Each structure stands twice: as C-alpha cells, then as structure tokens.
Amino acid sequence: WYQRRVRDPTTTTHRMSSSKIKRKVKVRKSKSAFDWLSNATDAERACVEALEAHIAGELRAAAVDGEPTEWLDTNALLRHARARELDVDKAAAMLAAGIEWRRNKRPDLLDATTDAELKEINDLGGMWVGKRDADNRPIIYIRPGAYNPASVEKRVDFLVWTLEEAVRHMQAPCTQMTWICDFSQYGQRARSPGGFAVAKQSLHILQNNYPERLGKLFVINAPWGMSAVFSLISPFMSARTKAKIQWLSGSPDEIEQQLETTIPNDVFDKQRLFETPLNKP
C-alpha cells in the first residue's frame, strides 16, 4: 500500500512509497449527499472505515491529473466490502485493481454517440439502457444474436459504456440495475468473431469492476445449452446471486405478464425488445 501525505483537501502532493514519485492530483468529493451507511451493519461500517484508510491517500487519487474520482465514494466502498464478504484485505485488493482498471480504461471518456465504431455497435440494436423498473433500477436490455464484426476491444468498450450509462441513470438510494436478456432471436444469424473472448472479458469486468451492481437478471427464452451451463456453474454461485436470476419463457405477451410486478407495462420496452429486427436501431 501507500503512505499518506495530506496537505490540502482538494489539491495535494502524494508520495508513493514504492517509487518515491510525487504527483499533484485533484481529489473531487462525491456530489451525492445521501448517507450510504444509514442501513449498514456495524460490521459493514467497520469494513468501509478500513477501506477508507487504505485509499485515503494515493489510492484515491494517485492517477493522472484530472482523472474523475466521484465514483470512489462511500457507496463504492460499501459495495466492494459486501462483494468480498467484509474481508478487508480482499476488498482492498479488489478496490486497488478497480482503480487501476479505471485509470487505464477511462470509461468516463467512452461515448457511443461520438465514437464512430461504438456508434455502429449501438446501431445494431442489441443492447441499450431503458427506463427504470418498479424499484427505480435502470433497465439494460440485451438481445444476443446480432452479427457484430467489430473488434473484441470495441465490443467490450460498448458494454462498459452501457454500464456507465446505466450508472448515470441511477438515483440515490438506488445502486443497482436490472438486466433483461432475450435470446428469442439468438442463433438466427452467423456467429460474431471473437465471441468467447468478448464473453470472458465482459464477465471479468462485471464481476471485478461493477461489484454489487446487479439487482435482477431476467433470462428470456434461453437456449438449452445455456441452461445446461448454468446448472454446472450454479453450485459455485452464492445464494444471493442465484436469487437475482429468473428464467422466463413464452410469447411476448406472456413475458410481459411475468415481468409486470418488477417492470410495469408502461416502462417495459416491449416493442423494441421483441418486434424490432436485429441490426437496426
């Protein structure tokens, strides 16, 4: 870890104990005034305080000048603590890796409205952020099946941009999102190149850089193979994670009815999900 050198609360000079390199970094406070620890247990509070001590200096702001730090608030610390079952060492390691990932990836700079390659992926109509569900969670819709010739890096970048868009749509105290993954058109088109690599990197990013962000996952009309794979990996999943996953099957009207308690009809993007052809916006 790093030694702390604090002189000014907003712009400070930090010394990294491993390299003895000084960096001047602007540390920005979270804009949210919500008390994220209002419903936390004593054990969760203690873990968050320990994580705060770990990152109070360099780990919060030992990046290039101007790198956003709003995401690194109490909510982030609490989510990392819960993701690692309140093990301070494991949560701190996860947090440090996440800081490094954001420093290198810079997800805040991704924009599918201005980046031509990301815009092409967006126009395929395979993934988008919709309205909020009954628990005020942003909804991410996913329709596997569109042929995507983009590079693995760009396809992963698009996923990250979509996740960041969902986070930007969150309103405190909401910290999670709902996913609807419809496989109704899966297998009707040629497989995209690099699919396994995209899936592997995406899973790693979701697990390690967006901890405790999943509120609900609805899997619609999944192919038999997916159900078989899930049955193999489910014993290694926590009961809390498995409780978030619900498997649905049926016609669009039947799916709408099954989702109604979580996603009211007036916010459910039914037509775009079931009726809009893939590869079109």
pLDDT at 84: 94
pLDDT at 112: 96
What DSSP designation does 29 have? P
Q: The tokens of 123 are what?
A: 């126009």
Residues 6+ apart with CB under 8 A from 153: none
Per residue, the 3-state secondary structure of 99-147, as one string, reads HHHHHHHCHHHCCCCCCHHHHHHHHCCCEEEEEECCCCCEEEEECCCCC
> What is the radius of gyration, based on Cα positions, of the chain?
20
Q: How far is CA 197 from CA 121, 140, 200, 201, 203, in A?
A: 17, 21, 5, 6, 10
Backbone angles phi, psi at 14, to 5 degrees: -110, 145
Question: Which of the listed ranges 31-40, 43-52, 67-76 does the model predict with the highest average pLDDT?
Answer: 43-52
Whether the CB-CB separation of 158 and 122 falls below 8 Å is answered with yes
Rounded mean pLDDT, 88-111: 92
101, HSE (Cβ side, Cα atoms, 13 Å): 18
- Per-residue pLDDT at 20 exceeds 60: no
- Mean pLDDT for the chain overall: 82
- Per-residue pLDDT at 180 exceeds 90: yes
Rounded mean pLDDT, 77-86: 95
Question: Which of the listed ranges 143-157, 166-180, 220-234 does the model predict with the highest average pLDDT?
Answer: 166-180
Name the strand (E) or helix (H) holding 216: strand 214-220
Q: Which of 168-172, 221-225, 238-242 has the lowest mean pLDDT?
A: 238-242
Q: Which residue has the higher pLDDT, 4 or 272?
A: 272
Name the strand (E) or helix (H) holding 161: helix 152-168
pLDDT at 82: 95
Q: Please list the residues that pair with 192 across neighbouring strands.
A: none
Q: The tokens of 57 are what?
A: 């200096």
Q: How far is CA 103 from the centre of its chain?
A: 16
pLDDT at 244: 92
